[in-house]
Structure formats: C-alpha cells, structure tokens
Amino acid sequence: RDNVEWSEEQEASAKSKVQENSSQLLPPDKQEEYEVNAKRYWDDFYKIHENGFFKDRHWLFTEFPELAPNRNPSQNEDSVREHSYKEESNNAGLGSCENGHCSLETRAENQLNLIKSTPTFCTEELAPQKRSEVNQSYGDYPGSSASYRILEVGCGAGNTVFPILQTNNDPGLFVYCCDFSTTAVDLVQNNAEYDSSRCFAFVHDLCNDQSPFPMPDESLDVVILIFVLSAILPEKMQCIVNRLSRLLKPGGMILLRDYGRYDLAQLRFKKGQCLSDNFYVRGDGTRVYFFTQDELDDLFTRAGLEKIQNLVDRRLQVNRGKQMTMYRVWIQCKYQKPAAPQP
C-alpha cells in the first residue's frame, strides 16, 4: 500500500483538482494580511494545539541518521514499533486532518521509493564585510564548546528536538531550535526535557534577514527543516536557504522533509484558499506550499549545496467512508555544503 505507483490518470485527476481550486486567487490585500500576520496565526495554532498536533517522530533517525550518527540502529526499535502501532490505529481513513492541517505522518517506518520526478535573489542581505564583522563578535556563544551542532528551524513545539536530545547521547552534541512563534518557543523552553546545557531555543523570524542567529557562519553540522519551508512565502525561500547554507560547516548538511505537489492536503483545498501557484491558506490563517523535487533542487543548488538525496515518498491513503483514494506526497532532501578545498 505504500509507495504505490502514480498513473497518468491519477496525475491528470490531481492536476484538474488543483486547476479547479486555484482558479480564483485571493485578492492582494488579503494576501498581504496573511503575510503580515503570519506569526500571529501560528501563535494561535500553538495556543490551541500546544504540542498535541504534530506527532513525535522516532522514524527521524532511520531517515536522517545524521541526527544521531553514533546511534546503534537497533536502539530505538521498541519505541519505533510501539509508535508505529499507535499511528496505524489512529489512522482510520483521513480522520487525522483538521482545519486543513493533516497530521504529517501515517506510519512510523518509512520504506522509501525513488520516483522520478525562478528563484528570487535577495537584495537585502548583509554585505560580506559586514557579515565577517558580525562573525568576529561571536566569541563565546551558546553551544560554542560543542563538537556537533544541529539547528532545527521552525521547530514548533519541539517534536523533533526532544527525540534528538533523547536519542543522540554524544556528549559533544548541542541542539539549537527556533521558530517565529513565541508560543511555540515557550512550549519548548517549558518542556520538562529542556536542558539548557544541551540545547538553546530562540525566537527567530526566517523572513527577517536582518535578524541575527546566535551562532557564527560555518558552525553547524546539520540544519533540519521539517514541514517549515512550505509555510514561507515562495519569493522569500531562496534568501532563507542561502542564509541557512552559510551557517553550515563545509561538509555540513541541510535535511528537509516537506509537502510534495498533489499531496492530499493540496487537493482538499477549496476554491478561494489559493494565494498563488501551489500556495494556499488554511482555515486558521496558516499557509502551505506544495513542492516539486526540481524546485527544491534549485533552491539548494543555487545556495551552493550539493545533492545527496532528493526523493518522493508517496503513500496511498484510503478513505473507506467516502470510497476515495488519495495520496500523501512528501519530499525528502539532503544537500551538503562542499568540503573546503584542500590547500
């Protein structure tokens, strides 16, 4: 049932659903309103759901072993199995979608399938000289003495960060995480597992390219983006990826999992919710973009990174009640900063 092939018929039917739901775009003043108030809509989301909506993801480590390189692969088998069972039994039909948010995973174990599948340049970035002045001022920063540094961007309530802290017991590990929602960052900081000697949660708006990061350029081993880039206005994505790529050490990696084109969440939008091509607003004011593999490849390669992985994970989801078949479509990417040239 997983990773099923996607026929031309299915592609055509998805395309026509998208044509239909994007035939009428929201007017510019409404578009502007969702951009200006984006943080408030996500704050409201976390006030309602706290950390109950997005599930913990122990599968992370099978897909992204970079998050816990020293982990023994059998280490989490029990919790993964238990987790998988829980998710399967929760997953009757499409019941896990609410207000346009679909819970992000249907199964904990991932069997992956490789299916084949105009950016804007930033004008307001800091000039290289200015950046180097900023970098020189870092000195002692949170996590400065660590040997392996991970940053999770758009961390929400911490459903990725806490599994990383539990699973990766490298004493040299330090995990940063940020979100522009102060409500989300409060949830992380107030979590009983938050340990300031191993992690640092901070408020950061990715769309504000003047807002500094608490660590210098070339200091991170891993940057992780889980269903986050899709929440950003498409015109702003390139600038964000460029900035994140500068934070990576040579050899460091950006890991991403996000919504793919024609995911069931895209097909379920109604007319009047489309902001621009493949970008929609949910009933609660939060927004979502649906990527193709090529778009993500462009974003990362233009930021100077090299492809390690770029795949589609497509799963059949059957709604028995409505006799409808739909697909979850996720894209998973790993892009690496080239190692420094040998002298």
Q: Burial level of 341, CB count in 10 A (0-12/13-18/19+)?
A: exposed
Cα torsion angle, 212, 213, 219, 224, sign: negative
Nearest partner of 60 among 206, 202, 160, judged by Cα:
160
How many angstroms separate the first and last alpha carbons of the chain? 51
**Residue number with CB closer to ligand SAM (180 or 279):** 180
**Residue number with CB closer to ligand SAM (232 or 248):** 232
**Residue number with CB closer to ligand SAM (67 or 232):** 232
Among 94, 184, 222, 264, binds ligand SAM (CB under 6 A): 184
Binding mask 224-263 for ligand SAM (x = CB under 6 A): --xxx--xx-------------------------------
Among 179, 221, 263, 313, binds ligand SAM (CB under 6 A): 179
Q: For the chain, how many helices (H) and strands (E)?
A: 11, 12
**Residue number with CB closer to ligand SAM (106 or 160):** 160
CB of 243 vs ligand SAM, minimal distance in Å: 12
CB of 162 vs ligand SAM, minimal distance in Å: 11
- Bridge partner list, 318: 325
Q: What are phi and psi of 8, to 5 degrees?
A: -60, -35
CB of 94 vs ligand SAM, minimal distance in Å: 18
Q: Does 221 bind ligand SAM (CB under 6 A)?
A: no
CB of 130 vs ligand SAM, minimal distance in Å: 22
Among 4, 207, 308, 316, binds ligand SAM (CB under 6 A): 207
Q: Give the ranges where the chain is alpha helix by DSSP (H).
A: 8-21, 28-36, 38-49, 60-63, 77-90, 128-136, 161-167, 182-189, 234-247, 264-267, 293-302
Nearest partner of 230 among 333, 93, 145, 322, judged by Cα:
333
Q: Burial level of 134, CB count in 10 A (0-12/13-18/19+)?
A: middle
List Cα–Cα distances, 94 to 91, 104, 196, 231, 264, in angstroms. 7, 12, 39, 22, 10
Q: Does 206 bind ligand SAM (CB under 6 A)?
A: yes
**Residue corresponding to tokens 């892009």:** 335
Site residues for ligand SAM, window 57-86 (CB under 6 A)? none
Among 159, 168, 278, 332, binds ligand SAM (CB under 6 A): 159
**Structure-block tokens of residue 156:** 């929400």
**Residue number with CB closer to ligand SAM (60 or 312):** 60
CB of 34 vs ligand SAM, minimal distance in Å: 11
**Residue number with CB closer to ligand SAM (38 or 173):** 38
Under DSSP, is residue 37 helix (H, G, I), strand (E, B) or coil? coil
Region binding ligand SAM by CB under 6 A among candidate stretches 112-120, 220-228, 247-255, 268-276? 220-228
Under DSSP, is residue 305 helix (H, G, I), strand (E, B) or coil? coil
Q: Does 54 bind ligand SAM (CB under 6 A)?
A: yes
Torsion of CA 17, 23, 29, 35, to 10 degrees: 30
Site residues for ligand SAM, window 22-51 (CB under 6 A)? 38, 42
Among 100, 154, 234, 252, binds ligand SAM (CB under 6 A): 154
Q: Which residues bind ligand SAM (CB under 6 A)?
A: 38, 42, 54, 154-156, 159-160, 179-181, 184, 204-207, 226-228, 231-232
